Amino acid sequence: MTPNSETELAEAITAAQGPLHVQGGGTRDIGAPVAGQVLSTAGLSGVTLYEPGALTLVAKAGTPLTEIEALLAAEGQRLPFEPMDHRPLLGTTGTPTIGGVVAANVSGPRRIQVGAARDFALGVRFVDGTGQVLKNGGRVMKNVTGYDLVKLMAGSWGTLGVLSEVSLKVGAIPETEATLVARGLEDDAAVAALSAALGSPFDVSGAAHLDAGANGGQSETRVRIEGLAGSVAYRAARLGEGVCKGWELVEAATSAALWLEVRDVGSLQTKPGNIWRFSLKPSDAPGMAEAIRRAHPEAACVFDWGGGLLWVSGPEGADLRPKGLKGHATLVRAARETRERLAVFQPESTPIAAITAGLRHKFDPRGILNPGLMGG
């Protein structure tokens, strides 16, 4: 089913007799496999409002991301949260949509500085599991009118409702960028350096570390700064005198290419087996990586967000989550059989699971929207 308007979307959901597999472009095939008729938002397409001077954009959920990025670029703007493209990592094809970005709360390396998709989502329109058209938030940058269901919808993977329209805060493309690069650092030294850089006043917008397994035998650690040319030069120099002493300076397009690779986890794309994504306290990341490598010597790791985001490639079917994990992990890439067997999303504590189940029941009492995708 590919409804062409919000009204048709509402009708399709109202009339549904069984489970629906909600999709934007279908490029982020993550979660427990969903049996059900495909409901695509691809027919809901188009930017409905763009005000560069107010940093706001409103688009229908099925609008291709490329269309939005091109429109923004023409005004010197972009989506600051740097949403990753999952296609190369997952081996999917298709066209990523803006609704999918919000529904999956997709962000990238700049999340550490500016926030995730959830932080840039100003408003949503969506259809709940009973076919009702609902809205929350709006198109203004500050809004505390009623509960913030925008945050709740962001990252709900289509399990609470099908987004029909999203409003976003956008930002300016900076004049230039630069990256400081170190090679051969151990994980703990790298994360300590990234922490120090992020704890400096120099407004670091990317802080990543690729371990030796991920980076062809020698680890690489990267710190990015962006802004006005003079300011970038100044901050690069200051970092270079301090925490990044002796690191190589890489500028402009060469710098950008490094971050595209981090964003899309380029260095793990060709690794066989599963891909895990851990969100954790940065200083816990080296220990976690170490423990995983001890159990699975072939595992390779990419640390983003100064260590707060750990990408790991591991063997097919092994659950890499330690007991009592402080944070959460998602099994981003795995065979269908593995995804049916292992919890793809982090299992929740009993009281949280009860709240989640209660909310799902309110939004989708028939349990027809991507049932089971997030577990529970």
Partner 1 sequence: MQMPQPDASILARKDRLVAQLQAILPEGCVIYDERETKAYECDALSVYRCPPLCAVLPETTEQVAAVMKLCHAEGVPVVPRGAGTSLAGGALPTADSVILGVARMNDVLDTDYPNRVIKVQTGRTNLSVTGAVEEDGFFYAPDPSSQLACAIAGNIAMNSGGAHCLKYGVTTNNLMGVTMVMADGEIVEIGGAHLDAGGLDLLGLICGSEGQLGIVTEATLRILAKPEGARPVLIGYDTNEIAGQCVSDIIKSGILPVAIEFMDRPCIRATEAFAGAGYPDCEALLIIEVEGSEAEIQDQLDRIITIARRHNPVELRESGSEEESARIWLGRKSAFGAMGQINDYMCLDGTIPVSELPLVLRRIGEMSQEYGLDVGNVFHAGDGNMHPLILFDANKPGDLEKCEAFGADILKLCVEVGGCLTGEHGVGVEKRDLMGAQYTDADLEVQLGVKDVFDPKWLLNPAKVFPLSTTEGRRA
Query: Is residue 366 a contact point for partner 1 (CB under 8 A)?
Result: no
**x/- string (CB under 8 A) for partner 1, residues 333-362?**
------------xx-xx-xx--xx-xx--x
From 37-45, 182-190, 246-254, 278-286, span contacting partner 1 (CB under 8 A)? 278-286
Handedness of CA 363, 369, 375, 376 (dihedral sign): positive
From 12-20, 177-185, 196-204, 256-264, span contacting partner 1 (CB under 8 A)? 196-204
Of 74, 140, 291, 295, the one binding partner 1 by CB under 8 A: 140
**x/- string (CB under 8 A) for partner 1, residues 88-127?**
-----------------x-----xx--xx-xx--------
Number of residues interacting with partner 1: please give it, by CB under 8 A.
85
Of 295 and 353, CB closest to partner 1: 353
Phi and psi of 5, rounded to 5°? -150, 165
**Least distance in Å: CB of 187 to partner 1?**
14
Query: Is residue 71 a contact point for partner 1 (CB under 8 A)?
Result: no
Query: Is residue 319 a contact point for partner 1 (CB under 8 A)?
Result: no
From 24-32, 95-103, 173-181, 295-303, span contacting partner 1 (CB under 8 A)? 173-181
Of 2, 269, 283, 338, the one binding partner 1 by CB under 8 A: 283
**Please, are residues 126 and 153 in contact by the beta-carbon 8 Å criterion?**
yes
**Please, are residues 211 and 185 in contact by the beta-carbon 8 Å criterion?**
no
Of 64 and 161, CB closest to partner 1: 161
Query: Is residue 308 a contact point for partner 1 (CB under 8 A)?
Result: yes
Of 13, 258, 309, 331, the one binding partner 1 by CB under 8 A: 309
Query: Is residue 151 a contact point for partner 1 (CB under 8 A)?
Result: yes
Query: Is residue 139 a contact point for partner 1 (CB under 8 A)?
Result: yes
CA pair distance 71, 52, nearest whole angstrom = 10
From 81-89, 92-100, 249-257, 304-312, span contacting partner 1 (CB under 8 A)? 304-312
